[in-house]
């Protein structure tokens, strides 16, 4: 596993309280049926929330 993937996994399981509140609101396509992902590795970066269908990195 790459270093970025491991860091993303650590961030995924150690969210801040604000991230937990936001994730609770957007998970399971609750907003306009948009699928969100969290702690996604994109190139050399880790994005907290990612929605590819609306091009939101």
User: Phi and psi for 17 in degrees, rounded to 5?
Assistant: -60, -40
Distance CA 5, CA 14 (A): 14
Which string of DSSP letters, residue by residue, matches the chain?
--HHHHHHHHHHHS--HHHHHHHHHHGGGTTTT---EEEEEETTEEEEEEBGGGTB-
Distance CA 20, CA 31 (A): 16
Q: pLDDT (tens digit, 0 to 9) for every residue of the chain, 57 residues total?
A: 699 999 999 998 998 999 899 888 888 888 888 998 888 999 999 998 889 999 876
Note if the pTM is more than 0.85. Answer: no
Distance CA 34, CA 14 (A): 24
């Amino acid at each position: 596993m790459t270093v970025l993937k491991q860091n993303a996994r650590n961030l995924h399981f150690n969210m801040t309280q604000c991230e937990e509140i936001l994730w609770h609101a957007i998970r399971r396509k609750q907003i306009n049926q948009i699928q969100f992902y969290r702690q996604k590795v994109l190139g050399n970066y880790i994005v907290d929330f990612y929605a590819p269908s609306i091009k939101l990195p």
